[in-house]
Amino acid sequence: MRPADVSDQASQRAILARIRFVLVETSLSGNIGAVARAMKNMGLSRLALVRPKAGAQGFADADALARASGADDLLQAATVHEDLAEALAGCRLVLGSSARLRSLEWPRLDAAAGGERLVAEAVHGDVALVLGRERTGLSNDELALCHFLVQIPTNPDFSSLNVAAAAQVFAYEVRRHLFSGGDGAGALLGVDDSRPDLATADEMDGFHEHLMRTLIRIDYADAEQCATLSRRLRRLFHRARPDRTEVNILRGILAKMTPRAGGAD
């Protein structure tokens, strides 16, 4: 789904600027840095931290900066909050990431649907994704502040993603839905058929005639085998869809294969 009014760049930027990632009591500053990098990679910028467990240097220490790898600006601009409710101020939609199956019955979305929902609602106002503690995730009280629990489908025997890895998947899903409309057409980029200079059918015919003539001359095939062999080779080169330059290379090779014939080919 891609709202009609998010197709221009200004709207897309505005939407990205309304999507907030909120980290609750993250223990390792390196993870905060890695989340910043993952966000910036996907064009997100608003990072909020609830009670980060920082050392003496604060959360933006050497580990954080190393893992941020150039997303220092997001660390600089990050807001720090005493509790989650404060960090969520102004948000019309809040999704809470959770690996664990909860006894608590709560509406759930998978990561793809979560990314779609964040984009769709950011058209109208601020939205947030909340990521919990490395070991214990979000408490039930914190989850209660979320409209939906979002889950990344995982191997049930090893289901706990690193917090920055989870942030990367969610940020990726946001961008996927914002810019491609999810899974519409155009997943295949730069495929063969967009190349402007594909060899034409008659050029390919000329090549195939040249090829078969050469194969007979070098004694690879006799005239009888030619029909079957030619079909096989046509099928092979059909799949390749050569452009004009490539056909010229191939014909240059064929010409070199039979130099004694006087180069009439």
Nearer to a copy of itself, 87 or 170 (CB): 170
Could you say which DSSP state residue 7 is in? -
In sequence order, which residues have a C-beta less than 8 Å from that of residue 25 and are 6 or more positions away? 50, 51, 52, 53, 132, 133
Nearer to a copy of itself, 80 or 181 (CB): 181
3-state secondary structure of 98: coil
Cβ 42 to a copy of itself shortest distance, Å: 6
CB atoms closer than 10 angstroms to residue 219 = 7
**127 contacts 170 by C-beta, under 8 angstroms:** no
Terminal CA-to-CA distance of the chain, rounded, Å? 56
Task: Tell me the chain's radius of gyration from C-alpha atoms.
Answer: 29
Nearer to a copy of itself, 51 or 234 (CB): 234
Structure tokens belonging to residue 96: 């809470």
Cβ 81 to a copy of itself shortest distance, Å: 25
Residue 32 to residue 187: CA distance in whole angstroms: 31
Cβ 251 to a copy of itself shortest distance, Å: 11
Cβ 58 to a copy of itself shortest distance, Å: 22
Residue 265 to residue 213: CA distance in whole angstroms: 9
Nearer to a copy of itself, 77 or 218 (CB): 218
Nearer to a copy of itself, 83 or 231 (CB): 231
Cβ 108 to a copy of itself shortest distance, Å: 4
